[in-house]
Amino acid sequence: MTEYNGSQHQSPEEDLEHLKSTAKSEAKALNELIKDEAFAYLRDKREVAAGGLSRAASSLRDGANSDNAAFNAVTMPVADVIEQSARRLQTIEPEAAVVRVREVASANPAAFALGAAAIGFLAARFLSASTPNSEFNQEELSND
């Protein structure tokens, strides 16, 4: 066995194969770690979102306790739907949701792409509407 560049392998090719194998196993371990952390983050945010929905439903119900029958007729069913959504959100596992999204995307790629584009458009509109132009321009000017 010849020592090559500090390695105990027979040839540079063996050294390269060992390096590839090590890189693959490290990448796989890092991928699992990132996935676990992402799913833990999603579980935490799921609870926050479900809590916000529950509070919104409670606020609607509190407002529906008024003397306005027409208002009550509209807000109570909406509050029920919001509360049901909060309960469903609490039971969704992120891993299962990712699998389901993949299934929908592969079954309907055009509809999925259109939906993703629509969500992106709405998010951009929401973000641009939430930042006043004067603040944006001042930040832009200060970076020059």
Residues 68, 24: Cα–Cα separation, whole Å: 65
Residues 75, 86: Cα–Cα separation, whole Å: 16
- Can you say how many angstroms the Cα of residue 131 is from the centroid of all Cα atoms in its chain? 22
Position 55 pLDDT exceeds 60: yes
Position 144 pLDDT exceeds 90: no
Which pLDDT score is estimated for 128? 79
Kindly provide the b/e burial profile for residues 39-57, where b requires at least 16 CB atoms within 10 angstroms of the residue's own CB: eeebeeebeeebeebbebb
- pLDDT tens digits along 101-115: 889 889 989 988 888
Which pLDDT score is estimated for 130? 66
Residues 3, 15: Cα–Cα separation, whole Å: 11
- pLDDT tens digits along 71-127: 788 888 888 998 998 898 888 888 888 888 889 889 989 988 888 888 888 888 877
pTM of the model: 0.50
Average pLDDT value over all residues in the chain? 82
Which pLDDT score is estimated for 1? 43
Residue 121 Cα distances to 5, 12, 41, 132, angstroms:
54, 51, 25, 18
